[in-house]
Structure 1
Amino acid sequence: MSMLPCGQSPSDGITTTFPSPSAAPPRSFSIEEFRIQTQKLPILKAGPIEQMTEKLGIAPPEMIFGDNFVIIEHVPSRWRIRFNAFGALDRVDKTGETRLKVAYSKEWQQSREDQHDIKEVVKPFDWSYTTDYKGDLAPGSRDFHATTAQIPLELLKRPDPILFFDDVILYEDELADNGITMLSCKIRVMPARLLLLCRFFMRLDNVVVRLRDTRVYVEFGKREIIREYTAKEEAYDKVYEGLAGRRDDVTAVLRDPAQMADLLPVVERTLESVQLGP
């Protein structure tokens, strides 16, 4: 497999130029008519970060893995969906209307100015990097449409062999040492199906806890793809109080997105699907 420029997904027709001199070939796995590709490289250096900042119009997170991606492709139809840091950060509110207006924002701004030597204050934006990212479709790919079809959890609970698995971090920030915000993608492929989970997790101490989950489910035999987006959120104090009576280590639970997913209430949920075959 040929090496690709950093930030360019193979054969998807979408390019961002954040060059890395030693970009390794992505991992690739094919099954039925589908091809899955993942790439994990170190965090971006100063030059590529400056390029991304200019393109995005907002200051970047502390740790940004701009070369990393996950792609699901249906080869016969050339349908592709890609998940990467640039696409996710481009969905962050850049108006500043939804940013968390608390004291920590000043600490965050100062930390960014110190870290990146920012001479001019970047325009206000959601400094928690909250995103409703659902992936980027390649040009010409059939779009998703609203559906009532559900992801079949009972099939995913079966002890089917895992043929391919990867866990790809896209970005992370400690919010001026007052919490954490992070975005990652996990994908697992079984003989008859696959599931991708793109999870945004944000905990701002004494303020709020958030989850934004995008799941992409593929049933190979049906050539149908279901995409589920779920947003969960709760005030930090309320979550803490709910955990106080448990024997668990409250601090550890608050740092665990998997446990938070079972505790936070749903504030938004959408279901979409796309049919790739006849």
Structure 2
Amino acid sequence: MNILIADSGATKCEWCLLHEGKRKKVDTQGISPYFLDAAGIAKVIETELKPFLAKWPVDVVYYYGTGCKDPKNQKVVQKALRQVFPGVAAHVTHDLMGAALSLCGDTKGIACILGTGSNSCYFDGRKISKNSPGLGFVLGDEGSGAYLGKKVLQYYLYNTFDEELRYKFDAKYVTDVKEILESVYKRPLPNRYLASFSLFLAENRGHYMIENIIEDGLNDFFFQHLCKYRESWKLPIHFVGGVAYGFRDVVKELCGTYEFELGRILQKPMDGLIKYHSES
């Protein structure tokens, strides 16, 4: 059986086809049913993925994606997958379940996503038993790339950055207040736009203002979410996502501060998902 696995965030979707012990990996743009309808999703898959799988038949799809906790959104993605791959069994669920299976396998643990967005859950080895509310990038997403990027823009627009950081910001982005506000409030995919500014943090580590933004942003995730699980002090806490991996030193430090047991920190969940579906 040829298995197609998808792990989709708001920024990028990673695909892997398992075919007779071989792996074919392809990256496409992120797929979110909040921003794309079935036709839009099908177009992305048709143009960015399918040409690379021309000689690789697909029997079943396991899709883990942002926004797919909502049953209506699951149906939107399923419709798109069945349009592109007629007759294929399409299993669609949310990216948090994908993270939990990748990080925990069939064991208990706390699984966290820190990427463009953020999320967390208590996984009991079979299913997600508890999930801290996900409020999206406007009201929540503490510790995410969008959350940290928003802090960068606040420091810049409020003129909080010192001369050194302001100069570096201006040199890198060549933007102004009008363009920033239009990108956030009027243009599509504002969460992706905000998250792009988290790279400024990674490139300027060591400056006290940069470290403050990183530590405060990640601490908000620990305090608002991980501290709400009683299991956080009993089970390992695992992390996946570019933010978690890029700032893993801060994640490790915060786990020590809160007296949590740090589990795995992965940049992407795909390797864990490949292992899980290969063995199940």
TM-score of the aligned structures, taking structure 2 as reference length: 0.28
Structure with greater strand percent = 1
Structure with greater helix percent = 2
TM-score of the aligned structures, taking structure 1 as reference length: 0.28
